[in-house]
Amino acid sequence: MRRFFFDPNNRKGDSIFLADEESRHIAKVLRLPAGSEIELLDGQGTVYQAIIVATGRQVEARIAAVVVEDQGAGKAVWVGQGILKGEKMDTVVQKCTELGVSRFSPFASSRCQGKADLGQNRKRHERWQRIGLAACKQCLRPRLMQIDAPVDLADLLRDTDATLCLLFWEEEKAVHLQDIPELPEAQSVALLLGPEGGFSREEIDLARRFGWLTVSLGERILRAETATLTAVSIVQYLSGNL
């Protein structure tokens, strides 16, 4: 059955009013008439069976039943990603959604290539949110991945409150993911991966002062997007989520 997300603020009793993009998709692209059955997701883990009652610029649907209620008790995996050029970032957002990352925070750091202004960052953030939403629908994930607006690395290092904070660094030779005994049971894990140019020595020192542990992904230097997807996959596997 076709799935659409809605903003829980746009629910009145059993009536759901869909946002512009989802309404356009239903009315103009799919041309679903009133009476069609759809699934509606609140992005927080609940999936509803619903019937379209009005189409047009704003589609209205009525909830018929709750299909799935995901309590979200599993491990929270938070990815901090140095902003990558062009479509590489889109790929990382899409794949992290599929792999079950709960929160994704793009960050700017000293070795990010090209400096984006506020307007560009806002546009890219909106694009990543659209990509995340589409990936959730495709992989039948009921809970949206939270995608933050870009922040500075120093703010992210300071503000992360995960149980375990891991920074992936190609110069770390001793610590690998399988060497961290608390990883499988940790309630929340933050994974930090650098942009194409990696982290500077000063950034590594700052992260360590904030309690981040540096971790290796092996002897070869991986491309940034390969490193992120590898790190997430291993963490999810060791945590029983893959």
Binding site for ligand SAM (CB under 6 A): 168-170, 193-194, 196-199, 216-218, 220-224, 227
Q: Are 16 and 61 in contact (CB under 8 A)?
A: yes
CA angle 28, 144, 169 (to 5 degrees): 130
Q: Which is nearer to ligand SAM, 63 or 222 (CB)?
A: 222
Q: Which is nearer to ligand SAM, 14 or 152 (CB)?
A: 152
Q: Shortest approach of ligand SAM to residue 195 CB, angstroms?
A: 7
Q: Shortest approach of ligand SAM to residue 229 CB, angstroms?
A: 11
Q: Which is nearer to ligand SAM, 98 or 170 (CB)?
A: 170
Q: Which is nearer to ligand SAM, 123 or 173 (CB)?
A: 173
Neighbours of 227 (CB within 10 A): 22
Q: Which is nearer to ligand SAM, 50 or 204 (CB)?
A: 204
Nearest Cα to Cα of residue 195 among 173, 155, 225: 225
State the Cα–Cα distance between residues 47 and 66, nearest whole angstrom: 6
Q: Shortest approach of ligand SAM to residue 192 CB, angstroms?
A: 7
Q: State in Å, rounded, how far the first CA of the chain is from the last one.
A: 25
Q: Shortest approach of ligand SAM to residue 163 CB, angstroms?
A: 20
Q: Shortest approach of ligand SAM to residue 237 CB, angstroms?
A: 17
Q: Which is nearer to ligand SAM, 188 or 200 (CB)?
A: 200
State the Cα–Cα distance between residues 169 and 203, nearest whole angstrom: 11
State the Cα–Cα distance between residues 71 and 242, nearest whole angstrom: 18
Sequence letter at residue 126: E
DSSP strand pairing (188-193 vs 76-82): parallel
